Amino acid sequence: MADNAALVNALKDAGLLTEPRLERAFRAVPRHLFLPQVPPEQVYSDQAIAIKQGADGTVISSSSQPSMMAHMLNQLRLTEGCNVLEIGTGSGYNAALMQHIVGDLGKVTTIELDKELAMHAENHLADAGMRAVNVVHGDGALGYAPRAAYDRIIASVGVWDVLKMWVRQLKPDGLLVAPIWWNAFQLSAAFTPSGDGTLTSRKNTLCNFVVLRGGIGTPSLSVRLGTTPLWLDSSEAARIDTARLHALLSYDAEREHLSVPLTFSEMWSSFIPYLVLNTPPDFVFAKYQVRDSEQHPYGIEGMGFALLARGSACFIPLNGNGVIYYYGSADSFMATEDALKGWNAAKRPKLDQLRLRLIPKERGEPEIRAGKLYPRRDHTLHVWFEDETT
């Protein structure tokens, strides 16, 4: 249909559909069949669409943004005849795209924790003529052994770790794509296994997915400041003393500018990743968001990132071109300035230089020369920049 063609053309113009099989799949599988209750103008816009919310209004499942789906399918490198496992069915749209790519000789198994969503997805797939997709109602954390081993595994949910069960069900020369948490962010990573049990990803993109639920989920990464709409996300959320921070933010902020003005693109794709890896140990790095555009708690609005320490906090909006607001002492501002100087000295490394490695816990804590280590359930996550000595 015309609206689907316009969406596909936009994805192609953005350079996301250079692989012919992927383009044909997007053209052949109309998204509206998987979102029948959503207006067409919303269905065929490049945006994620919530399909189920919890009792508190939290989105627990969504149909991912088409451009992000295209990016992850590029990372997955599907070919005809692949045996694929998807963790998190959602609407079923992504599974349909994959089944079109792998063809009649391939297999797609998709697991959905929510029984109602699994049933709806099965119906949507039937409407799209994709009855070959095997929809399983179950806990995706366990994978699906009956159809293993898999050439490809993709998680359509944010994960804290790549679980051992998934690795066991992946072929030695397979590929596993998942949005993995890194501090306050998720990175869509394409992991390849090696003989020593480690998994390495060289192509990583910032993304945002609902988190994996079930028996093995994600720890709480968000804190709310009192009853305000100000939320902070961080893998070190447990270190944030909300009462103390509320008292600090109740004072007037000092307004300054970073010594180097930063565009949104420079901030998002270069400086923030550098700062995450170079946050001093006595500071907490966090992403912030005010979830009500009508309110400005503590004079803060929109979204950006923050550095927090005892007696000092600074907030830097993503669209502020280097404007910084700090509360209490200037320590957080000076720490940000020091990181900015280091970033310049390192020749402004970009996100495409970021590398990830998952090392099995049983191998003990690895020795590294650069980057940072992050403990996970089954692995230790090592993150570094390519031009650093590892």
Residues classed as catalytic: 64
Backbone angles phi, psi at 47, to 5 degrees: -145, 150
Identify the burial level of 364 via C-beta atoms within 10 angstroms of its C-beta, where 0-12 means exposed, 13-18 middle and 19 or more buried.
exposed
CA–CA separation, 84 and 166 (whole Å): 12
Question: 93 with 38: CB under 8 angstroms?
Answer: no
* Per-residue burial over 63-79, b = 16 or more CB atoms within 10 Å of its CB, e = otherwise: bbbbbbbbbbbbbbebe
Kindly give the residue spans of alpha helices, DSSP state H, lying in the chain.
2-13, 20-28, 40-43, 66-76, 93-102, 115-127, 164-168, 242-249, 264-266, 272-277, 331-345
The C-alpha atoms of residue 198 and residue 180 are separated, in whole angstroms, by 15
| Residues contacting 162, CB < 8 A, separation 6+ | 176, 178, 180, 191, 199, 358, 378, 379
* 342 three-state secondary structure: helix
Asked if residues 368 and 385 have their Cβ atoms less than 8 Å apart, the reply is: no
Which pair of tokens denotes residue 357? 């490695």
